[in-house]
Amino acid sequence: MADTTVYRASTTAPVNIAVIKYWGKRDPSLNLPTNSSLSVTLSQRSLRTLTTASCSAQYPSQDELTLNGKPQEIQSSKRTLACLSNLRSLRKSLEDADSSLPQLSALPLRIVSENNFPTAAGLASSAAGFAALVRAVADLYQLPDSPRDLSRIARQGSGSACRSLMGGYVAWRAGSLADGSDSLAEEVAPQSHWPEMRAIVLVVSAEKKDVPSTEGMQTTVATSSLFATRASSTVPERMTSIETAIKNRDFPEFAEITMRDSNGFHATCLDSWPPIFYMNDVSRAAVRLVHDINRAVGRTVAAYTFDAGPNAVIYYLEKDSDLVAGTVKAILGSTAGGWDGPFYEPLKDTTAPGVPLDNVDPRVIGTLKDGVSRVILTGVGEGPVSVNEHLVNETGEIIYH
């Protein structure tokens, strides 16, 4: 009679939000980027993916993946297959070298994953998802590979996923080798180096975005006359400068580079043919708000950044919570949800705006009140964490929530 043991490992993984943007692939199938990028890993106390990887001889022969309660067509996702195939090979090598190990690489996988936030809302769910998948299967297989090594695999699932395998401040080195073996993530500084970094996400719209990022970035690379300058010259200079800013905990420098890189990325989208727009009037109102706050305070206390969608992410330091998040709360506290949660404490008793609202253009206030449905308060956080909460029970059944 066959062994019916269900082997399991579970992990949570974080979202990351880039401050130097990834946009453009030099090799679409290997997910090799045209330029390096850098992100802040966000706390899993706010946003996280929980993934259980399991394998068992009692499972059907084909690997299975369930996301947020829905079975996925795993065979049609080349990216998922590439990740699993890489991880299985690593396990196989261990088994070949040590015959006492159970032959897990030969067993079908059942992977179950849940986000605690809406998918495809511009919140980098695919980054957290692939990081969790790779980390969970690597744990299931007890692979000795470092997060840096695993980032090479996660990258093939979703480029930015490679940066979610580490906490703190993470660079994705573009690399130059054709096989992508030097295109991987590196920790620039751990969370503990600069733990005061905070972020407030202004959720502008949960509509699916018009142009998916993979398609959008190929359009930009192929058609924007300005893109080559960004990839070959602007971004490399910014990578150097922002790493120095992070090392020196220099928020004003970090902030200016972050804002300029976001603007430059969206500029190359607009310069694409046909043009790609991710920011809308609400996004632009968030840009104005941040500039107005910084002007009123007289120093740079806030930095906006926008991914491939209209949501604003505003970075600030904890000591400036009143000035930044307190001002946002004064504008949106009565209309947008999401103010509760783990990072709400410093704002709980804040009633007056940190920056008097007569410093902010009234049209900006009106546009934000009308257009922001929800905020998410968060901050810099740790990388993936092994957990004992499993989404598959001991007999191999999926636990639905």
Q: Which residues bind a copy of itself (CB under 8 A)?
A: 224-226, 228-230, 233-234, 256, 259-260, 263-264, 266-268, 270-275, 277, 280-281, 284, 287, 291
Instruction: Output the smallest distance, CB 327 to a copy of itself, in A.
Output: 18
* Token pair of 252 as six digits: 């004003």
Question: Are 83 and 135 in contact, with CB atoms under 8 Å apart?
Answer: no
Q: To which H or E segment does residue 110 belong?
A: strand 109-115
Question: Are 159 and 22 in contact, with CB atoms under 8 Å apart?
Answer: yes
Instruction: Output the smallest distance, CB 261 to a copy of itself, in A.
Output: 10
Instruction: Output the smallest distance, CB 361 to a copy of itself, in A.
Output: 9
Instruction: Output the smallest distance, CB 27 to a copy of itself, in A.
Output: 24
* Token pair of 276 as six digits: 């790609």
144 burial class (0-12, 13-18, 19+ CB within 10 angstroms)?
A: exposed
296 burial class (0-12, 13-18, 19+ CB within 10 angstroms)?
A: middle
CB of 153 or CB of 287, closer to a copy of itself? 287
Q: To which H or E segment does residue 315 belong?
A: strand 312-317
Prior bond of 274 cis (ω within 30°): yes
CB of 289 or CB of 347, closer to a copy of itself? 289
Instruction: Output the smallest distance, CB 290 to a copy of itself, in A.
Output: 10
CB of 27 or CB of 281, closer to a copy of itself? 281
CB of 140 or CB of 276, closer to a copy of itself? 276
CB of 214 or CB of 263, closer to a copy of itself? 263
Write the CB contacts of 204 (distance below 8 Å, at least 6 apart in sequence).
Answer: 280, 282, 283, 286, 309, 310, 311, 312, 371, 372, 373
Instruction: Output the smallest distance, CB 112 to a copy of itself, in A.
Output: 36
CB of 75 or CB of 225, closer to a copy of itself? 225
